[in-house]
Structure 1
Amino acid sequence: MLLALALASGAHAAEVRLAVGSPGGPVAEAVVSLHGATPVVTRTATARMDQQHSAFVPGVLPVQAGTVVAFPNRDNIQHHVYSFSQPRQFEIPLYSGNKAAPIRFDRPGVVVVGCNIHDWMIGHIVVLDTPYFGKTAADGHLTLDVPPGRYTLRVWHVRGSGAPLERTLVVPAAGTSATLQVALAPTKDDVRGNDRLRALQQKFRQLKDPSP
């Protein structure tokens, strides 16, 4: 994956323009974040991950730690949403419409969300301890406004090897430009109904029915 970025300074913040690509073309839905040396206080914000046409929409949802996420079910069938991911484990039993209470995500990390009824439904909530983040568009581009300073730049993608790729980035007071190249480990393009989710679903069913 090729990450090209240019920096254009402003009075109080720099505009960071990013283009994420691979040999196959632009990379969409890559979560890019900038982490400074000073800890960021979590804040209460709201977001949503819909269930529509038996899929999570959006499939990848980046949020800042402290965000409350709603899971509206827009299908005419019920879903059973859950996660066993360490940053936030939760379960929303069979429901439809807007009946489910929102879930608060306080701990940074990637939360894999599934549906116990429909094996192919997989969503990812990327919880970040920084307000400086975004998700690349279909053309692989993203723009962030950040104060000048030294940051750790992280790039996460659902087809990556797990941990986000990291680079050190200095955002100066004066305009400059730079190009970074990072490698995205090749994986299968289709992650629907993958082995990890099947294992989580089996664990869920065993917890619900402990009988042999």
Structure 2
Amino acid sequence: MAAISESEVLAFIDADEKPLEGVVLFQVSSEEYVVSDPTTHIMDQVDRQFLPNVLVVATGDLVSFPNSDSIRHHVYSFSTARSFDIELYGNSETPTLDFPRSGLVVVGCNIHDQMIGYIVVSEEGKAFRSDSEGQMILTSDTANEDAWFAWHPWMAAAGFAPVSLTTITRDEPMQFSIRAPEQKTESDLESRFRRRLNRGN
């Protein structure tokens, strides 16, 4: 059990001891939730990227996946928290799914491998994100029996799973041994292949 006091400030740094923006602290429960009046969030597809890249929602909420590109996408996830398969669709459709179980959901496109998005599902009011200074302010009491995890999108690129926080370091920043992933440069051959593939999609 991770006990964190109300209104406490936590700080996070990367492998180079620089403030780490975008760390998500979230709670995972074994229960599933059906909400009578769920909030609908949007994860769009723009220029062959999911937008936003990281979406934080509450258990029981809905997520819509509009396609603002001129080509079709095939959106899917194999994640335990929510697996789904939305086959090829264009910008005239907006599939919407519920997310009743907490956890990290990795979203991909079966046509465009570079498209990866993340949906963090946590109990209402039980998710926090670090700011540009690498800090987050906890606005509610998080001392309970459910598991708490810390995660950052760079961890996925490095092959790391969310970190279970059985203990919380308060006196000094929590360091994650991660750095920004290198940006891949598309070769001429890959570019020609992608353009040919997209003409059919």
TM-score (ref. length: structure 2): 0.69
Aligned to 2:105: 111
Aligned to 2:163: 164
The higher relative CO (CA closer than 8 Å, separation ≥ 6) is in 2
User: What amino acid does structure 1 have at the position aligned with 2:20?
Assistant: V
1:17-32 equivalences under 5 Å are 17-22=9-14, 23-32=16-25
Aligned to 2:93: 99
Cα distance in 2 for residues equivalent to 1:58 and 1:96: 19
Q: Percent identity?
A: 32
Q: Does 1:125 align with 2:119?
A: yes
The verdict on how the C-alpha distance between 1:16 and 1:73 changes in structure 2, with shifts beyond 3 A counting, is farther
SS state of the match for residue 146, structure 1? coil
Cα distance in 2 for residues equivalent to 1:52 and 1:24: 33
User: What amino acid does structure 2 have at the position aligned with 1:162?
Assistant: A
Cα contact 2:73–2:111 (8 A) shared by 1: yes
Aligned to 1:51: 45
The verdict on how the C-alpha distance between 1:110 and 1:121 changes in structure 2, with shifts beyond 3 A counting, is same
SS state of the match for residue 159, structure 1? helix
Cα distance in 2 for residues equivalent to 1:15 and 1:71: 34
Equivalent of residue 82 in structure 2, options 73, 80, 88: 88
Aligned to 2:73: 79
Q: Deviations over 1:129-184 (max 9, x none)?
A: 45221222333233331147557653112233203240446xxxxxxxx4255442
Q: Does 1:184 align with 2:191?
A: no
The verdict on how the C-alpha distance between 1:112 and 1:162 changes in structure 2, with shifts beyond 3 A counting, is same
After TM superposition, give the deviation of residue 41 of structure 1 in Å: 5.9
Cα distance in 2 for residues equivalent to 1:81 and 1:59: 14
Cα distance in 2 for residues equivalent to 1:32 and 1:61: 13
1:55-66 equivalences under 5 Å are 55-66=49-60
The verdict on how the C-alpha distance between 1:130 and 1:82 changes in structure 2, with shifts beyond 3 A counting, is same
SS state of the match for residue 107, structure 1? coil
Aligned residues: CA RMSD:
3.2
User: What amino acid does structure 2 have at the position aligned with 1:84?
Assistant: F
Q: Which stretches in structure 2 are left out of the alignment for 5+ residues?
A: 185-201
1:135-150 equivalences under 5 Å are 135-147=129-141, 149=143
Matched residues, number: 172
After TM superposition, give the deviation of residue 66 of structure 1 in Å: 1.0
The verdict on how the C-alpha distance between 1:108 and 1:145 changes in structure 2, with shifts beyond 3 A counting, is same
Range with bigger deviation, 85-94 or 18-27? 18-27
Cα contact 2:10–2:173 (8 A) shared by 1: no
TM-score (ref. length: structure 1): 0.66
Equivalent of residue 70 in structure 1, options 64, 76, 81: 64
Cα distance in 1 for residues equivalent to 2:116 and 2:11: 26
Cα distance in 2 for residues equivalent to 1:35 and 1:145: 18
The structure that is strand-richer by fraction is 1
